[in-house]
Every structure is written in structure tokens, then in C-alpha cells.
Amino acid sequence: MAAIGPALTFCVLLLPFMGALMAPWLVSRIGGARAAWLLALFPALAFLHFCGFLPEIARGEVRTGGYAWVPSLNLSFSWFVDGLSLAFALLITGIGTLIVIYSGAYMKGHPHQGRFLSFILLFMGAMLGLVVSDSFLMLFVYWELTSIASFLLIGFDHEREAARRAALQALIVTGAGGLSLLAGLVFLWNITGVTQFSLLVHMADGLRESPFYLATLLLVLGGAFTKSAQFPFHFWLPNAMEAPTPVSAYLHSATMVKAGVYLLMRLQPVMGDTPAWEILLPFFGGITLLVGVLLGLRQTDMKLILAYSTVASLGLLVMLTGFGSSHALEAAVLYLLAHSFFKGALFMAAGAVDHEAGSRDITRLSGLRHTMPLTFAAALLAALSMGGLPLFFGFLAKEEIYAALAAGNPRAVFFTALAVIGNALMFALAFATGLKPFIGARNRTAAPVHEAPPALLLGPLLLAFLGLACALFPGLSHTYLSSPMASAVAGQAVTIDITAIPHFRTPLALSLLTIALGVLVYWQLDRVRDVTTRALDALGEGPDRGFDHFVSGLVRAAVLVTRVVQPGRLHIYVAVTFVMLALTLLVPLFAFGELPAMPVWPKDMLIEEAAFLVIALIGIFAVLRARNRLTAIVSLGIQGFAVAVIFLLFGAPDLSFTQFMVETLSVVILALVMTKLQLTLSDHRPMREALLDATIATACGLGFTLLLLKALQMPFDRVLTDFFNTYSKAIAHGANVVNVIIVDFRGTDTLGEIAVVMITGLAVLALIRVRAGRRAT
Amino acid sequence: MNTLILRTVAPALTALMLLFSVFVLLRGHNEPGGGFIGGLIAASALAIYGIAFGVGAVRRALRFHPMAIAGAGLFLATLSGLLSILFGVPFMTGLWVYPRILGLEVPLATVISFDLGVYLVVLGSIVSIALALEQDSETEIPDAEVAQAPPLEQVPLRGKRRRRDRQPRETR
């Protein structure tokens, strides 16, 4: 068992991806609804596998495993399962199973249901990999994969512009955060020298004292805050509600958006407990909590209300993670678990209502309790948990929050007040979605409404009951889930022992205050909505508009830059290229004082050498004086041939040979190009332009001359010459050293070069074709 | 280009240059020469033929598109490099065999096939560029029409006759 354990876990990590591959095929074969039940087996199996870890993890052990990936870079594909990873893994696979079943019914009859299920499973695999990753790089790869899966799912309904915009927005925001995270992880690696989270724990002290601690923290927060929709990056999450409801329930409330919180919790034992951590996290978390609930109040769409309350919940979680006491961490853990249950259930219930009643507007829906009693039960149970009423998991979390925050000092009082306001408003939001559409008079205008089918009910009911069961059997849930998870987050053994029986102390008083406030807001919901709407409108544009401005600004800047660097005129391209060449040649020579000594005129120059030099000079002169282009091209050839002969005289036959052929062919091809491009026969440049070009040409020529002179004046290193002379015949069986180097010693270079030759040929061919085609039309 | 002298000389010149290019390619191992130069010489040979008789004639004589020849060359060169992997030596290591052919020991190596690949790539790429440029400059007629009207009517040379006779089979 010990031997197959790791291999089994590895296969389980691949399971969702296999499901993703099979989904489209299965759906096309046996239909969406049945395929969904079958596909749910993949996450269900993974769930069972991870359940097998529970006893071990509860004893405080960890499960590790993995394979070497790039051993030379110290990279591995390795996983590390402790309380935190396990809790997440169970949430992902457990809720994932329910979501797949739910999607089968929700997307029934959709032409792309197979694609949808495939994306969901792809995301599941990515998220599962993310939470069990031990290696930094593996975490990053999975992190980006979740962003991509989220992009695909938000933009699933790609024919609507709003969906496309939301998808792109989510991808850009989380993608930018991903880059920031990558930089942060590289910093972590460089500071500590380790690439695995499991080893990072031992490096905590060195990391906190490092001068780069703050930079690392900010970069990591950049990743976590964008992923977990913290203010001011919160705007993408409500827009992501363009996705079908199963996606909102799964990615954008229960799992993916918690990836940022996961990362913070994972790093808490290593990076936490510093002033920067305890200022930044509660501050941004607190703002996000307030912004989330306030923006949520003005909404009437059930999904949007839930989305904003998710933003608020994520803020609360970040605030608790950064608050800096082990009690607060316990509260964060409890709230995270409770939130996954009740928010997932509420989203699925909202989806069921939308599916059956055709609307999600709470001002239009009413009296659904008669027609959808089971949905109502699920929604109400979830809302009770979200509102934090006794006997529910949410209540435990809330008690723990107040117990942790109410420490007496001014900072604690401030955050307690924040939490009370946030929770009270969330209470109102909970009942606005979980109670309001179901009570009141029966809505007569809408089409006849039926109860949702079993597949749509299974998820919300099960999750809502879990929220109750976890609180009714606190011993069980604490031993197996919350205590090991809190221990992993705190970095030391922690036991949670809160129960659902109220104690008459400060936390209970605060809870009662919260509930009272919540009831008040709920009672006056319409009036509160008007007030917040008016207040928020007065504030003007939010970051969502800002994102649009940013994107359009980026596009304008790109157009501007393109217009500058790619004006479309060959003359400018060539000029820029040669100016850069001249600068590259001349600037280092002058800047480093590496100018060559004045060369001495050779005394024993042979008459034929001199003659060919003169011919080359005549060729160049002819180029300059040529009246039409053809003469110029041929004259250039004269100069080239003269140089080739000089090569020959100096004992470089191969070089000379090649030069001859290249010169011949360039004259031929240039002449052809000329006739093809139908250039004017002669040169019409104005004096000013011609002078400028002459200057550039002279500078290039001067640069090359100086460089070659310098090279000749350096002492000649014979190592390579001797090597090739010695081994050319002995190893490569060839007497022509030049050719042996080309085809044998440095054959791989040549392979690259001929590939370039061929690609250039293809490109030229394509350009000619494009031209010819354009002329034909 | 419609000069009788060029048209008379071109076939002989082209044949000679092609032969010479192969000679240069093979002798490159021990004397000046090699695939690059050989390929350039062969390309010039075909350029001369093209100037004398037009693009269509060259294309028909080549049978394959020059880019296909270049592609085959690149494939051959890569294969020559990959072959060494089968023998457990690093990529691009030269392999030598010495078979006896007609009682004569002939050293053969992957180096030679690699060089042949270089030759073909250089030949194919340059010829395809030259032909494409030439074609557009001499006529605006698309390929098919060029094929139907070869500019060789008046020249009673055997080689060309044959080529023209073969032409109807290749109408694409």
C-alpha cells in the first residue's frame, strides 16, 4: 500500500482532467443529463480517495509524495497534504461532484453541454492541483490554469458581449495578479533557497528579517488579492456572474476565489506575524467587507447579491487571516468552511429559481414556497447559516470571529465594529435571497412554476444540511476538518472546541446585536436600497469603469507606438536599422577607449593586391555616381567580386568561392527585385535626405573598419585554430577544415542556419504572392 | 531575355554548372567547396536557364516546386543528425561506413547526406525566390497559361522539344 499510495494520488490528481477529455464525447453519445451522472464519478472517486487521508491528517501527520521534474533546477511535481490542503481538496471534489450533477440538469439541452462539463472538470483538476501543490512552480502553473478555466467558463456564452467582456476582465485582472505572484514566488525562492512549501516553514525567521520581505509580501498579495477579489480588484467577481449559475456557485463562491485566501493561509506561518502583514491584510480585508456589503445592498438580482456578499466574505476572511491571533485564524477556518457550504447552496438555489421561474429579480419574485418547497428549504437553511443563527455552522464561525476580535484594545474594537456591520448587512442579504423570493403572495403574472428536478435539488439540499450537521456534531467536524486545518494555518497544533450551544458572554451579545441589526435592515430593505443607490451614484465611477478606461487607453497607446515604430516605409526601417548598427559599432569603441592604433601602410604590397583594391574602389565610386539603379547594382557587384579575389589572394578559397556566388546571385536577384518593384529608374532623393543617408553609411563603414582594425591588432588566440587543425582529419576524416566545421563540428548551427534560409525563402515567397494577389484584384 | 546566343548556350552552360555544383559539393570535404557553395552554383545555373527560357521552362524542368526541394533538403539534414541517436551517440555525430563497391572502398558518412541537405535547401530557397520574382516581372500571366505557351517555339533544340512534349501531362 505504501508503494502504490503516491502513484494512486498522482492518478487521482489526473482524474478530473481525464473526465474533461471524455466529457464532450460522453455527452454526444448518451446525452447531457446521463453523462453528468457518469462524469460525477470522477470527482466522487477523488473525494473518496481524499477521505481516506482524514484519520492520518487528524492525528497531525502530513501526506507527501511526488516525482522529480527538472532535477537540475530543483523542480519537482510534488504534493503535500496537510489539514489545509485536505479541507480544500475535499471541498473541491465534494462540491465538484454536486456541481457536475447539477450542471447536467441546469444545462440540459444546451448544444455545448459537453464543452461546459469539460471546462468544469478542467477547472476542478487545476484547483485540486493548486491546493495540494508543494512546489512553487507547480502551484503557479495550476494557479494560471484556474484563471484560464475561469476565463473559458465566464465567457462560455460567448455570443453575448457582456460575457466576453467579463471573461476578458477576469482573465486580465487575475492574469496580472498571477504574474505578480510568480515574481513573489521567485523572490521567496531566492531569499530562502527552497522551492517547496513544506521546506519553507523552516526558513520563516530568515524570511521575515530579509530586506526583501516587504517586496515579496506585496507581490504575493498582488496575486492573492486579485484572485480573491479584494478591493480595489473586486470588480471582476460580480461581472463574472455572466457565467452560467453552476460556474458562479463553484468557481466564484466556493472554490476558485478562495485560492487567494488559501495562499495567504498557506504562507501565514511563514510570512505572518509581522507589522506589514497585520496592517495590510486586515485593512484591505476590512475595506473589501464594507464595499462588498454596501454594493450588494443596491442589487436586486439574486446572483449579484450573492456575488457581492461573496466579495464581502472574502474580505472578512482576509481580515481574519491577517488579524494576528491564533483565535482569528480559527475563526477564518470555520468561516471559510461554513461559507463554502451556505454560499454554494444559495447559488445553486438561485440557479434553480432562475431555471424554473425564469427570473432572478427579488423585487419580482414572490410566493415561490408553494411551488418550490424543497428549493425553499435548501435556500432557507443556507440563509440561516449565512445569517449566523444558532444551531448552524455559520453561527459557530460568527461566535469564533467575535471571540477572536473582542480583545479590548482600540484596534480590536475597530475591527469588531467592522465585523458587526458587515455581518449584519450580510444577514440582510442572506434573507433577501434565501427567504424573500419564497414568501409573500403567489406571483400570478409569471408562467406556471414547477419544483426543480432532483438533480437541481441534490446540491443545494445536501450543502445546506451539511451546514446544519457540522454544527450539530461539532466533535466530528472539528476533529477531522477544522482543527487540522487551523493547525496548518497557525503553524502549530490548535484545537477548536466551540459548539452550537450559546454561551452568555461578549460574543453572544455581539451576535445578538448583529442579528438585530440584520433584521432591521431586512425589514427596511427597499428603503436601504434606495439610500445606498443614491449615495453610490453620488460617488461616481467605480473601478469597473476604470478598467474600461485602462483597456481603451492601452489600445490607444499601442496604436500610437505602432505608428511610431512601424510607419510602413522601407526607407525609415532601413535607416533605423543602420543607425542602430553604427551606434552599436561606434559607441563601445569610443566609450571604452578601445580605438585601434593607426594602421601602418604595408611595405611589401603585391601589385595584384593593389590592383584589386583599386578595382573595388572604382566599383564603389561607380555606385555613388551611377545615374540609374541597374548601373548601381552592377557596380556594387564589381566591388564584391574584387573583394572576393582579395580573399582568394589571402588564402581563403572557401570564403572567396562563396563570395563570388553570393555576389552573382545578389546582382541577379536585386535586378529582378528592381524590375518587380517598378521603382523609378534613377535616384530622386533630395539633397538633404541623400546627405543624411550618406552620413549613416559612412558611420557604418567607419565603425566596421575600426572594429576590424581593432580585431587585427589584438593578439591572435590560436586555441581553436590548433584544435580544428589537429582534429579535423583525425576525428572528422576531412581535410577541408572550413567545411568540416560547417557540417560536422558545428553541424547543429548549420542545421539552424539552413532552417533560417528556408523560412526566409518562404517569407519572401509569401510577400511576393501577397503583392501579386493584390495587383490581380 | 530574347537573345539567340544566350538561348543557344544556356542549356549547355546550365548542365555544366549543375554538374560542377555536384562536384563542388562532393569535393568539399577535403578541398574548397561544400554544400553552401554547391547550392549557390546550382541556383545560378537555374537562374541562367530561367533568364534564357523563362520561368515556366525552369519549373517544368525541376518537376517539383523549389520550396519542396528545400523542404526535402532540410528533412534530409535533420534526419542525418537524428540517425546518430539510434546508435547511442549525441545528436549530429558523424557516422561512417566503408562499404566495398565494385572492389573499391567508398567511405560514406551522415556528414555527406547532411551536406547534401544543405545543398538542397540553399538551391531550393534561392531558386524559388528568383523564380517568383522573375515570373512576375516578365509576365502578368498566371502559371497555367505560361505552361500552355512555352516560349521555345523557334528554337529547334532536342532537349527542349522533349520537355515540351512532356508538358501536356502536367497541366495542373
- State the SS3 of A40-54: CHHHHHHHHHHHCCH
Would you say A69 and A77 are in contact if contact means Cβ atoms under 8 Å apart? yes
| pLDDT classification of B143: cutoffs 50, 70, 90 | very low
The three cell numbers of residue A543 are 473601478
Show which of A483, A502, A523 is a domain's final residue. A523
Say which of A758, A769, A772 has its CB closest to residue B74: A758
Closest Cα in chain B, distance from residue A729 (Å): 9
Closest Cα in chain B, distance from residue A628 (Å): 18
Contact A669 B107 (CB under 8 A): no
Contact A761 B36 (CB under 8 A): no
Specify the number of domains making up chain A.
2
Residue A491 belongs to a domain: yes
The count of C-alpha atoms lying within 13 angstroms of the C-alpha of A162, restricted to the half-sphere facing its C-beta, is 7
Q: What is the pLDDT of residues B5-24, one digit of tens each?
A: 888 999 999 999 999 999 99
Residue A47 belongs to a domain: no
In this prediction, the residues of chain A whose per-residue pLDDT falls under 70 are 1-4, 407-408, 443-448, 500-504, 540-541, 676-681, 683, 771-777
Whether residues A486 and A613 fall in one domain = no
Q: Does B133 touch chain A (CB under 8 A)?
A: yes
Contact A758 B125 (CB under 8 A): yes
Quote the distance between the C-alpha of residue A590 and its chain's center.
45
Say which of B78, B126, B132 has its CB closest to residue A665: B126
Q: Which domain holds residue A646?
A: 605-683
The count of C-alpha atoms lying within 13 angstroms of the C-alpha of A771, restricted to the half-sphere facing its C-beta, is 16
Residue A201 belongs to a domain: no
Contact A669 B29 (CB under 8 A): no
In whole angstroms, give the CA distance from residue A427 to residue A431: 6
Whether residues A504 and A629 fall in one domain = no
Would you say A345 and A467 are in contact if contact means Cβ atoms under 8 Å apart? yes
Residue A469 belongs to a domain: yes
Contacts of B18 in chain A (CB under 8 A): none
Contact A754 B29 (CB under 8 A): no
For residue B105, the surrounding DSSP H or E stretch is: strand B104-105
Residue A112 belongs to a domain: no
Contact B133 A743 (CB under 8 A): no
Best mutation target, A741, A745, A754, A762, to test chain B (most B CBs within 10 A)? A754
**What is the percent of chain A where pLDDT is above 70?**
95
Contacts of A751 in chain B (CB under 8 A): 77-78, 81, 92, 114
Cα torsion through A594, A595, A601, A606, rounded to 10: 60
DSSP character for A389? -
Residues 1-40 (B) with a CB less than 8 A from some CB of A: 24, 28-37, 40
Cell 441546469 maps to which residue? A106
Say which of B35, B133, B137 has its CB closest to residue A743: B35
The count of C-alpha atoms lying within 13 angstroms of the C-alpha of A526, restricted to the half-sphere facing its C-beta, is 4
Contact B136 A739 (CB under 8 A): no
Show which of A523, A547, A581 is a domain's final residue. A523
| Residue A379, phi then psi, degrees to nearest 5 | -65, -40
Q: Establish, for the pair of chains A and B, how many residue pairs have beta carbons separated by less than 8 Å.
A: 141
Closest Cα in chain A, distance from residue B157 (Å): 26
Show which of A486, A501, A523 is a domain's final residue. A523
Whether residues A514 and A615 fall in one domain = no
The three cell numbers of residue B13 are 552552360
Contact B32 A653 (CB under 8 A): yes
Is pLDDT of B155 > 60?
no
Specify the number of domains making up chain B.
1
Residue A751 belongs to a domain: no
pLDDT of residue A654: 83
Q: Does B41 touch chain A (CB under 8 A)?
A: yes
Cis peptide before B150 (omega within 30 of 0): no
Question: Could you tell me how many helices (H) and strands (E) chain A has, helices first?
Answer: 34, 2
Q: Three-state DSSP class for B124? A: helix
Closest Cα in chain B, distance from residue A697 (Å): 27
Cell 543528425 maps to which residue? B81
Asked if ipTM goes beyond 0.90, one says: no
Whether residues A498 and A629 fall in one domain = no
Q: Does B117 touch chain A (CB under 8 A)?
A: yes
Nearest Cα residue in chain B from A658:
B37
For residue A765, the surrounding DSSP H or E stretch is: helix A747-776
Say which of A736, A768, A772 has its CB closest to residue B29: A736
3-state secondary structure A705-759: HHHHHHHHHCCCCCHHHHHHHHHHHHCCCCCCHHHHHHHHHCHHHHHHHHHHHHH
Whether residues A519 and A644 fall in one domain = no
In whole angstroms, give the CA distance from residue A617 to residue A596: 23
Give the contacts of A331 (CB within 8 A, at least 6 positions apart): A320, A397, A400, A401, A403, A404, A405
* Angle of CA points A29, A34, A35, to nearest 5°: 55
A415: alpha, beta or left? (left if phi > 0; alpha if psi -120 to 50): alpha
Whether residues A347 and A463 fall in one domain = yes
pLDDT of residue A679: 64
Contacts of B114 in chain A (CB under 8 A): 743, 747, 750-751
Would you say A309 and A426 are in contact if contact means Cβ atoms under 8 Å apart? yes
Q: What is the CATH number of the domain that holds A662?
A: 1.10.287
Contacts of A641 in chain B (CB under 8 A): none
pLDDT of residue A150: 92
**What is the percent of chain B where pLDDT is above 70?**
77
* Angle of CA points A204, A218, A191, to nearest 5°: 40
In whole angstroms, give the CA distance from residue A282 to residue A308: 19
Nearest Cα residue in chain A from B112:
A743
Q: What is the pLDDT of residues B50-104, one digit of tens each?
A: 888 888 899 998 989 999 999 999 999 999 888 888 887 878 777 887 878 777 7
Contact B94 A768 (CB under 8 A): no
Residue A35 belongs to a domain: no
Contact A734 B30 (CB under 8 A): yes
Contact A758 B43 (CB under 8 A): no
Closest Cα in chain A, distance from residue B129 (Å): 6
Q: Three-state DSSP class for A361? A: strand
In whole angstroms, give the CA distance from residue A58 to residue A191: 32
Contact A754 B74 (CB under 8 A): yes
Residue A420 belongs to a domain: yes
Closest Cα in chain B, distance from residue A669 (Å): 6
Contacts of B36 in chain A (CB under 8 A): 658, 742
Whether residues A497 and A632 fall in one domain = no
Q: Does B166 touch chain A (CB under 8 A)?
A: no
Q: Which domain holds residue B78?
A: 4-170
Where would I find the H helices in A593-746?
Answer: 607-625, 629-649, 653-677, 687-713, 719-730, 737-740
The three cell numbers of residue A371 are 411551488
Q: Does B171 touch chain A (CB under 8 A)?
A: no
Say which of B40, B109, B129 has its CB closest to residue A761: B129
Cα torsion through A566, A571, A575, A577, rounded to 10: 50
Would you say A463 and A342 are in contact if contact means Cβ atoms under 8 Å apart? yes
Contacts of A675 in chain B (CB under 8 A): 137
Tell whether the torsion through CA atoms of A289, A291, A297 and A302 is positive or negative: negative
Contact B67 A765 (CB under 8 A): yes
Best mutation target, B29, B74, B89, B141, to test chain A (most A CBs within 10 A)? B29
